[in-house]
Amino acid sequence: MTVFFVAAISASILLNAFSNAFSLPQMETNGESILGTVDSPLLEPLEGSSWGDMSLETTNVYTATFSDAVVRRYTFNVARVSLAPDGVTSPMIVVNGAFPGPTIEANWGDIIEVTVNNQIQGPEAGTSIHWHGLLQHDTPFMDGVPSVTQCPIAPGKSFVYRFKADRPGTSWWHGHFAAQTAGGLHGAIVIHGPPQNGAQYDVDIGPVLLSDRYHIDYRTLIQGYLSVPLQLIPSDSNLINGKGTFNCSTTSLPCKPDAGYSKFMFQSGKRHLLRLINSGAEGLQHFTIDNHEFLVVELDFVSIIPFKTNKITLSPGQRANIVVQGTGKPSDAVWMRTDIDPVCATATNPKTRAIILYETADHGAIPNTTATPYTAVGCTTYELSQTTPVYAIAPPPKPATHIDLDITVGVNDTGHTQWYMNGSPFRADINQALLARAAVGDTAFERPEWNVYNFGSNSSVRMLMRNYHISPHPMHLHGHDFWVLAEGHGEWDGSVVNPSNPIRRDTHQVLPMVDDKPGYAVIEWEQDNPGIWAFHCHIFSHSSLGFYINILERQADIQDTLIPNAVTNSCTSWNEYAMKNEVEQPDSGI
């Protein structure tokens, strides 16, 4: 008996020792990132918060103003690296040698200033960074969309982005040029704000990034997608905070087993805030924690009336803040899981896990917990009726203007697969910035493939999207949250869900076509932000293949005084570079 007991203990010590010893070094899997390790710090509001007694229940975040802003400065060096997030070494493109990239933190009302240095070599390429979900009121040029708000940052050049942390919550930044986001160019944004009623927490665990991973280089992937017929290229694995595992006997690429799981530290009896972000390229993610329910308290940047669930689904671009009660014992170890939906995306290894360690659990403990069962039907993400913003805003019942957007897939005249928006695939002219033209009154926009929709001075816009394809599309609007009024299949009957306070967010997934009935979604937004705003599918291969339109909003109110020198310089340097070097543009450019 005693002998057996001792043997069991040493077996378990050995097992722990092995799991530690055999995990690859963090430097090899994730470079300079410490996310997902036990050393990753808990987050707290930064010093010098300026939100005073503003509350999420009584403040309209879209119009809130702040007097004393603190500037939070970051330097982003963008470069190619070779990393093995799941044990398979492949080329990536990242910031500061880290995958996932550095987390930007600020307090609500601060100014964020990021100096982006393009150090991309082997081969050289342009780049740009978009700050997903931030409104960019008065700073439309800082939105990071090549051909629209700036030219790509030329190799060896820099661009200083400066914009307001205009709303509290969780988001992310990512490359917006030529599919670079799928190569690893992304990271989290955390903007601290006041506590929300009914959503209090004790511990801020920080970002939990969920992302599908391709072993093929992002440029090669795009070439594959452009071929005819439309290719379904499966992702190879799935990652939590950039970590996952892969069965090396199933690949001929350089591969080391046991890359190691991400780890998160919980405390028994405490409430934990997790900031979930789907930073993936294509996959719809179903997230669960074994034996734990949680409260969903924020969707995208919008605080919602908390609801309890044991599974949350996020499409690429979407975020959710959840509060998890630490119901485990101090010695527990528990699996966190996220599964790519196998019907709504193609994935060779859709499931992955991370480890939650309570405070006295061995850091090498491997959980034995069982997965939470759930049902997933029809690529749906969330119930419109279940999600209610804490700060109510009713959309105008009769919008000032209306547009239909029909989504189809086809082949263009040179034999490339493309996504058609009302019959037109988008293709950028990356040698100019359309917004700089609009600011000086030039709205000729002579090329139809720029897909510019000019809504003039209309106070609000309603859009009915119809998806004539069997894949869902997470649609993201820049510069705004939109209301989601209705969704379904076939014909919209005109009814609106929660008409006095529909869910608002910046990314919503349009349902796939079912039995010849198009999936539809009806969204509406107020034209309160003069500029040109991107509206596109957040599946990288779709936007690369033309799934994109430009919303020109209140052109007469775009001030030419707002054109920063940085934008003019980005175009001068880019055009000089493009003159001297052969620049390829295989995809749509964004």
Ligand X SMILES: *[C@@H]1O[C@H](CO)[C@@H](O)[C@H](O)[C@H]1NC(C)=O
Asked if 416 touches ligand X (CB under 6 A), the answer is yes
* In the complex, minimum distance from the CB of residue 399 to ligand X, in angstroms, rounded to a whole number: 10
Task: Sheet with 452-454: list strands edge to edge.
Answer: 452-454, 548-553, 531-537, 473-477, 507-510
Residue 537 binding target from Cu ion, ligand X, none, CB below 5 to 8 Å by type: Cu ion
- Measure Cα distances from 264 to 42, 206, 333 in Å: 10, 10, 10
Is 558 a binding residue for ligand X by CB under 6 A? The answer is no
Q: Which residue in the set 112, 277, 539, 558 belongs to the binding site for Cu ion (CB under 5 A)?
A: 539
CA distance 104 to 114: 9
Q: For residues 27 and 84, what is the distance between their CA atoms, to the nearest angstrom?
A: 9
If binding is defined by CB under 6 A, does position 418 make contact with ligand X? yes
Kindly state whether residue 569 participates in binding ligand X, applying the rule CB under 6 A. Answer: no
Report d(CA 512, CA 518) in Å as an integer.
7
Output 309 or 585, the one with its CB closest to ligand X: 585
Contact by Cβ (8 Å): 393, 60:
yes
Nearest to 458 by CA among 558, 526, 551: 526
Counting every residue, how long is the chain?
590
The residue within the footprint of ligand X, chosen from 368, 370, 375, 565 (CB under 6 A), is 368
The answer to whether residue 148 forms part of the interface with Cu ion (CB under 5 A) is no
Q: How far is the CB of 277 from ligand X (least distance, A)?
A: 27
Q: How many degrees, rounded to 5, is the angle at CA 194 between CA 191 and CA 196?
A: 110
456 binding ligand X? (CB under 6 A):
yes
Which residues ranging from 180 to 239 are in contact with ligand X (CB under 6 A)?
226
| Sole binder of ligand X in the list 93, 145, 179, 365 (CB under 6 A) | 365
Choosing from 187, 367, 389, 472, the residue that interacts with ligand X (CB under 6 A) is 367
Minimal distance in Å, beta carbon 263 to ligand X? 13
User: From the CB of 547, what's the least distance to Cu ion, in Å?
Assistant: 5
- Which residue's beta carbon is nearest to the bound ligand X? 456
Q: Which amino acid is at 196?
A: Q
Q: Which is nearer to ligand X, 156 or 441 (CB)?
A: 441
Pick the piece of the chain touching ligand X (CB under 6 A) from 88-96, 263-271, 456-464, 499-507: 456-464
**Could you say which of ligand X, Cu ion, none residue 495 binds, taking C-beta under 5 to 8 angstroms by partner kind?**
none
Q: Which stretches does DSSP call E strand in 259-301?
A: 263-265, 271-278, 285-289, 294-299
Of 243 and 275, CB closest to ligand X: 243
Contacted by 288, from Cu ion, ligand X, none: CB < 5 to 8 Å by type: none
Select from ligand X, Cu ion, none the partner in contact with residue 368, using the beta carbon and a kind-dependent cut-off of 5 to 8 Å: ligand X
Give the strand order in the sheet containing 319-325: 237-240, 203-213, 271-278, 319-325, 294-299, 302-309
| Burial (Cβ within 10 Å: 0-12, 13-18, ≥19) of residue 569 | middle
Among 46, 69, 70, 403, binds ligand X (CB under 6 A): 403
DSSP conformation letters of 440-455: TT------GGG-EEE-
For residue 188, what are the contacts with CB-CB under 8 A and spacing of at least 6?
100, 103, 104, 170, 171, 172, 173, 206, 207, 209, 275, 277, 279
| Phi, psi dihedral angles at 588 (to 5 degrees) | -65, -20
Binding mask 422-451 for ligand X (x = CB under 6 A): -----x------------------------
**Smallest separation, CB 418 to ligand X (Å):** 6
- Going residue by residue from 460 to 499, which x/- string records binding to Cu ion, judged by CB under 5 A? -------------x--------------------------
The Cα–Cα gap between 590 and 91 comes to 20
Any idea what DSSP says for residue 576? Answer: H
**Residue found under tokens 């989290």:** 188
The binding site for ligand X (CB under 6 A) comprises 226, 247, 249-250, 333, 365, 367-368, 401, 403, 412-414, 416, 418, 427, 455-458, 587-588
Residues that bind Cu ion (CB under 5 A): 473, 537, 539, 542
